[in-house]
Structure 1
Amino acid sequence: MIYRDFHRENEIGNDVIKKYSDILPKELISIWKKYGTGSMMNGFLKVVNPDEYIEILRESFADYEGVVPVMLTAFGDIITINSEGRVDIIYYRYGYYSVIATGWEMFEVFAGDSFMNERMFKNILYNAAVEKHGRVEFEECFGYVPLLALGGNETVDNLKKIKTKEHIEVIIEMVGIISDMKSIIM
């Protein structure tokens, strides 16, 4: 179960729950009611209020129509659910997005499996980053400085704690909006 070490940040208001209850999977709505927003998986995954990230998603992702941001990774990647229930991840650090599950239940199973978790989230450096820099706060992520797209190296030494929204904005300003889809063959 991916929620076993959930650390609550805030509750999600009834207005937000009502707004998305006919759009998002019932399982996710139940998580919102039970836990609210917060982090889990040793701080790597964050359940977010979609309304706080929908605007930046629209500004940064070419395929944003019918897509709802529901989670973030500690590397500033946004996990979304589309109108058919498909779960995607926008890897801002790499400049593309991928389908990671065909439904929410499958996503939860994959996220709870260490092999699949590593493949989906590309989180191999996370524990080393936490050891070197400490855990990120809820509004922060680890960002590569310099950005990978600008020649930065994918090393723990190049990771810095950065505000998530500002980091995404810098990536988009420097690299452009995310429009490429790549398979993460499992």
Structure 2
Amino acid sequence: METFGGQVGRQEVPESSIDRYRGKLPNQLLTYWAEHGWCGYGDGIFWTVNPQEYDAVVASWLEGTKFETFDAYHLIARSAFGDLYLWGEEIGASLKITSILSRYTTHKSLCLGSQMDKGLQSFILSRKVGSNDYGDLFRPARKKLGTLHHDEMYGFVPALMLGGADTLDHLEKVKAVEHLVLLSQLSDLESYDFQDL
């Protein structure tokens, strides 16, 4: 993740959090937390997070979907614009939600069970700065609004799903958990139809 750039907003991870997710998330991720904490990378474009703080976000997004009972999901990372990276206890890094558009993509991991650490490595190595920079707005947003704190994201106001524009003038710093729960209530979660791209 260091390829994204320097850390911002680092939080130490208590041993109780590591214990809570032992056997649910890859051991390598727990070791990473212990060594590096939860923080933002690339000046805050990509964040590792405390999954417990995002339990309500995950529950709100998955409620009423096929994912609600498919696996036990935990949010392990997010982008500055609210891309959510969920890890399934049984199936690994398998679900990404683009919250501002209420769309999701799935990924079938080949690294299950005792191979979850390899699945985590694959997840980390496949992260790219550009795929987390909605509309190339990160640098202009950071310049205009400032660096994000660990509990903040850049949100469009009004939300895109309410007809808001996806321009710098409509971006604000918002509290991440509250904004992500709000976005989950605006529209049903749908699969990306690649004809839309």
* TM-score past 0.5 threshold: yes
Instruction: Return closer, same or farther for 1:8/1:151 CA change in 2, 3 Å cut-off.
Output: closer
Identity, % of aligned positions: 24
Whether the aligned pair in 2 keeps the contact of 1:98 and 1:183 (CA below 8 Å) is no
1:182 aligned to which of 169, 192, 196: 192
Task: Indicate the residue corresponding to 2:106 in structure 1.
Answer: 99
Measured after TM superposition, the shift of residue 89 of structure 1 is: 1.9
What's the counterpart of residue 158 of structure 2?
A: 146
Match of 1:71 among 73, 77, 87: 77
Mapped partners of 2:24, 2:138: distance in 1: 32
Whole-angstrom distance in 2 between the partners of 1:41 and 1:135 = 11
Quote the Cα distance in structure 2 between the aligned partners of 1:139 and 1:28: 20
Shift of 1:164: 0.8
Q: Which amino acid aligns with 1:22?
A: G
1:8-47: CA deviation from partner (whole Å, max 9, x where unpaired)? 5322222221221212122211111101211112111111
Deviations 1:124-177 (A, max 9, x none): 21112112221122111100111111111211111111111111222233x135
**In the alignment, which residue of structure 1 is the partner of 2:114?**
none
SS of equivalent residue, structure 2 residue 43: coil
Give the count of matched residue pairs: 178
CA deviation string 1:62-89 (max 9, x = no partner): 3244111111211123211112112432
| Deviation at residue 183 of structure 1 after TM alignment | 6.7
Give unmatched runs, 5+ long, in structure 1: none
Structure 2 residue aligned with 1:81? 87
- Structure 2 CA distance for aligned equivalents of residues 126 and 184 of structure 1: 24
1:99–1:183: 8 Å Cα contact kept in structure 2? no
Give the superposition deviation at 1:105. Answer: 1.2
In the TM superposition, what is the alpha-carbon distance from 1:57 to its structure 2 partner?
A: 1.0
Task: Give the distance between the partners of 2:169 and 2:72, measured in 1 at CA.
Answer: 37
| Paired letter, 2:144 | K
**Superposed counterparts of 1:45-60, under 5 Å:** 45-60=46-61
Q: Aligned-pair RMSD on alpha carbons?
A: 2.3
Separation (CA, whole Å) in 2 of partners of 1:42 and 1:100: 27
Residue identity matched to 2:84: I
Instruction: Give yes or no for contact 1:37–1:49 (8 Å, CA) kept in 2.
Output: yes
Q: What's the secondary structure of 1:94's corresponding residue?
A: coil
